[in-house]
């Protein structure tokens, strides 16, 4: 069965600092991978996705992620964090049947001024 782990429950960074959020997945085939962001009490917004091809994918709001098959990872990065990036971040993989996502537990990002 597929699974997604996000090792960091909570990360705090200073505004302007770089950010990396970790995501590891367990999947038997080439995965479809996603990163979503959720502000408090809101729905989930897609940041970026990986289906195939170039392993470095660019997303919205200056985020990027790199797919590394050898490490079963899909880490999210941003070179300079803004205070508005404070939110919950979820990594997800589409399951074998392609009908539902398996979400990671989420990483809460706090940004210090």
Partner 1 sequence: DTEVTQTPKHLVMGMTNKKSLKCEQHMGHRAMYWYKQKAKKPPELMFVYSYEKLSINESVPSRFSPECPNSSLLNLHLHALQPEDSALYLCASSQLTDTQYFGPGTRLTVL
Contacts with partner 1 by CB under 8 A lie at 32, 34, 36, 41-46, 49, 88, 90, 94, 98-101, 103-106, 108
Residue 66 or 101 having the CB closest to partner 1: 101
CA distance 48 to 18: 18
Rounded least distance, CB 41 to partner 1, Å: 7
Copy the structure tokens of residue 91: 């990594």
* Separation between Cα atoms, residue 58 and residue 49, nearest integer Å: 8
Q: Give the shortest CB-45-to-partner 1 separation in angstroms.
A: 7
Output the CA torsion sign for 40, 45, 47, 50: positive
CB of 98 to partner 1, least distance (A): 4
């Amino acid at each position: 069965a597929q699974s997604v782990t996000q090792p960091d429950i909570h990360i705090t960074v200073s505004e302007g600092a770089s950010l990396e959020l970790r995501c590891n997945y367990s999947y038997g085939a080439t995965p479809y991978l996603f990163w979503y962001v959720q502000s408090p009490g809101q729905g989930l917004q897609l940041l970026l996705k990986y289906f195939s091809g170039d392993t470095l994918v660019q997303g919205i709001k200056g985020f990027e992620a790199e797919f590394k098959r050898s490490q079963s990872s899909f880490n999210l990065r941003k070179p300079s964090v803004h205070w508005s990036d404070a939110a919950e971040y979820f990594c997800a993989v589409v399951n074998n049947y392609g009908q539902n996502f398996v979400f990671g537990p989420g990483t809460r990002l706090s940004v210090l001024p």
